[in-house]
Amino acid sequence: MADDLVNIEIDGVPVKARKGEMIIRAADASGIYVPRFCYHEKLSIAANCRMCLVEVEKAPKPLPACATPVTDGMKVSSGRLMRGSSITPSCACLA
């Protein structure tokens, strides 16, 4: 069981997640909200809307949280803090 868990960090918060679990599910389980439009746990992953883009340390560009599996040591920024993030809010209400 312990071999199935990896340690990641989301917005500076240490999180334990199941190996291969998608970032969006690990964030949800930790109480960290990542905005989404096309994602639902009972539907296949489309990753079309790009609303759930997150920054992952050492990744060249933002990645969709709904379609990116966690790996041990991964550092993720959801953009919810917005300071220094290349992810821009998708609506004026978040700006």
Contact 26, 15 (CB under 8 A): yes
Q: How far apart are CA 68 and CA 53, in angstroms?
A: 10
- 77 or 85, which is more confident? 77
Residues 14-69: tens digit of each pLDDT: 999 999 999 999 999 999 999 999 888 888 888 889 999 999 999 999 999 999 99
Question: What are the pLDDT digits (tens) for 48-61?
Answer: 899 999 999 999 99
Pairing of strands 13-18, 5-10: antiparallel
pLDDT, average across residues 8-16: 96
**How many helices and strands, by DSSP H and E, does the chain display?**
1, 5
